[in-house]
Amino acid sequence: MLYMNYCEIQYSYVRRHVSIAFVSFLLLVCTSCGVYTFSGASIPTEMKTISVLFFENQAPIVVPSLSQNFTEALKNRIRTQTPLMIKNNPSDAVIEGKITGYSIQPIAIQSNEKAALNRLTISVWVHYTNNLDSKLSFEQSFTRYADFSTENQTLEQQELTLITNIGDLLTEDIFNRAFTNW
């Protein structure tokens, strides 16, 4: 009986240490090689730097702070979700683009011909250049929108929040296309 308890303890001890060793090994492989980050990004180990150029607003409707806020949101996403250092050219990769669309359209009309629901749509065109592997470079347009009501608040009262939310979706799309190939 005593021998059996000793064997069970030894087995438990070995199993626990093997599990810890296996998890440690996985964490070491996943993070130290620089190929995978926990954000889901696949970044080659040789890629160290990226340039994010200013996204000029060329939309028919121009919101003064949109270009600066969008460019900074994209830089912030890269800073917080990758080990890449953002710098001016030359760099291992470059993201550049322009804001090509900003529109507000009614999507639900009430009987009094007033819009019950509106849609704010923002479009950006992106050119991503991977200077280490040109096959991963791309040019693509991205569009996202948010629906809102002006029943309780005006567009002006909601606009900054709407722009921020749409910007988050757009930067996520760009990030995923550049670094996760989704």
Distance CA 143, CA 99 (A): 10
* Rounded (10°) CA dihedral 59, 64, 66, 69: 150
Give the residue numbers spanning the domain of 5. 1-32
Q: What is the domain count for the chain?
A: 2
More confident residue, 127 or 43: 127
Average of per-residue pLDDT across 136-149: 96
Whether 16 and 82 map to the same domain: the answer is no
Classify residue 100: in a domain, yes or no: yes
Q: What is the pLDDT of residue 151?
A: 82
Given a cut of 80, whether residue 26 has pLDDT beyond it is no
Given a cut of 90, whether residue 8 has pLDDT beyond it is no
Classify residue 39: in a domain, yes or no: no
Whether the bond between 44 and the residue before it is cis, its omega within 30 degrees of 0, is no
Q: What is the pLDDT of residue 30?
A: 46
Which tens digit of pLDDT belongs to each residue from 88-136?
879 999 999 999 999 999 988 777 777 779 999 999 999 999 999 999 9
Given a cut of 90, whether residue 158 has pLDDT beyond it is yes
Distance CA 164, CA 139 (A): 23
Q: What is this structure's pTM?
A: 0.75
Q: What is the pLDDT of residue 146?
A: 96
Whether 97 and 27 map to the same domain: the answer is no
Burial (CB count <10 Å: 0-12, 13-18, 19+), residue 55: buried
Q: What is the pLDDT of residue 153?
A: 87
Whether 136 and 64 map to the same domain: the answer is yes
Classify residue 153: in a domain, yes or no: yes
Band of pLDDT at residue 80, cut at 50, 70 and 90: very high
Distance CA 143, CA 58 (A): 14
Chain length of the chain: 182
* Residue 134, SS3 per DSSP: helix
